[in-house]
Amino acid sequence: MQVSVIILAAGQGTRMNSDLPKVLHHVAAAPMLHHALATAHSLEPSRIVVVTGHEGQAVAASATAYSEAVDCVVQDPQLGTAHAVAQAAPLLADVEGEAVVLYADTPLIREETLRKMLEARSRHAVVILGFHAKDSGRYGRLLTKNSNLLAIREYDVATEAERAITLCNSGVVCAEASLLLSLAAEVKDNNPKKEFYLTDIVEIARARGLSAGVVLCDEAETLGVNTRAQLAEAEAAFQTRARAEMLENGVTLTAPETVFFALDTHIGRDAIIGPNVLFGPGVTVESGSEIKGFCHLEGCHISRGASVGPFARLRPGAELAEDVHVGNFVEIKNAILDEGVKVGHLTYIGDADIGEHTNIGAGTVTCNYDGVMKHRTRIGKRAFIGSDTMLVAPVTVGDGAMTGSGSVITEDVPAEAVAIGRARQVTKPGLATRMFEKLKAVKAAKAKGQ
């Protein structure tokens, strides 16, 4: 089935009280727009059109950053949802098959729901996504008879009897692409706000002798974000759903309510995630790995059997091979750790390549930044880096080599060599006692002077 998706992302979102366009506010470490794009991509569409408006350049840049295949079009002025859909018409003039309308400020719509709508197209020319609301508020109401949708009544023009209906409109629409654009073009602005409402296409379709129907979903799925409070609700709803899915897929969460996932987090079965772990964007954890408590991960890949934490931070570009151990208070950034590497504690590894089964002692730092440029540290296989070693990049430590504890390594270390780069220790017998007595006398003299 060929599908096109139109994502409406033109709104200003004044109730967010923000300089940032509403659809670029984050849920699960990603702009809400990206949630809509991810759902759209799950349908394997032939074309995606994002309709921008307020701060359109920023919104378009975010859309194309997600996928260069996305087309963007500007709605200016912004005259309502049907007018927004009509702006996509030139980009969809040659497409065949179905079209789905999504909203960039409604980040929780599921692929399964959209596929139900596409399946319902075999029975109805226009399919609307509806839900039963606990508090119907100012939602548009769906007027139905048997399995047919008769009309969508906006709250402002609804009668008291219609306002009592709990079946509400999510705004999500599915129809054959050319039909959708034809219906949108017929919508009039004969309403108090003088806007072109996409909801009017139901009655226009029925006037043509076409049927309309409703597919239902849970109310939580249709949550639209217009305020900071609703943004927090969307975050909580996403995390609740993501935790349930992880558990269902065979991931152990020892304290699920304390773990936070990103939109694109991928975790394999039999992985163990401890309490208070935060996943930023771009994280993959393979099967059988363990992330212990209080870790922060983003832009990294953790292979089978690896162990991370507690209290570790993996930053973008961190690549951990199988059976790597990264311990407490360790930070890894833009570094590749080969199989069996151990970095136990209190260490920074940045811009580095570390060979298999190498041991990195406590307090080691790869000194990768000279104030202008970043430089790389390369450590070979089965090397032993002593505690408190400063590796001043660019520098290479060969296979099987060793550095002495407390060393500052500024030159390459050949394979199987030992490098010691520290000042010779000088011991002065009795000097400590004499120094303390002198300092105490100075302190007493100052106290008398006061």
Active site residues: 345
The four Cα atoms 274, 280, 283, 288 give a dihedral, to 10 degrees, of 0
DSSP 369: B
Give the C-alpha distances (Å, rounded to integers) separating 341 from 5, 325, 357: 46, 6, 4
Locate 208 and state its tokens.
Answer: 């043509």
Residue 255, both tokens: 């304290």
Among 354, 348, 363, residue whose Cα is nearest residue 381: 354
> What is the C-alpha separation between 362 and 406, in angstroms, rounded?
10
Q: To which residue do tokens 């090397």 refer?
A: 383
Backbone angles phi, psi at 301, to 5 degrees: -130, 125
Q: Which residue is listed with tokens 């590894």? A: 349
| C-alpha distance from residue 38 to each of 33, 246, 305, 394 (Å) | 9, 18, 30, 40
Please report which helix (H) or strand (E) contains residue 247, including its range: helix 228-248
Q: How far apart are the first and last CA of the chain?
A: 90
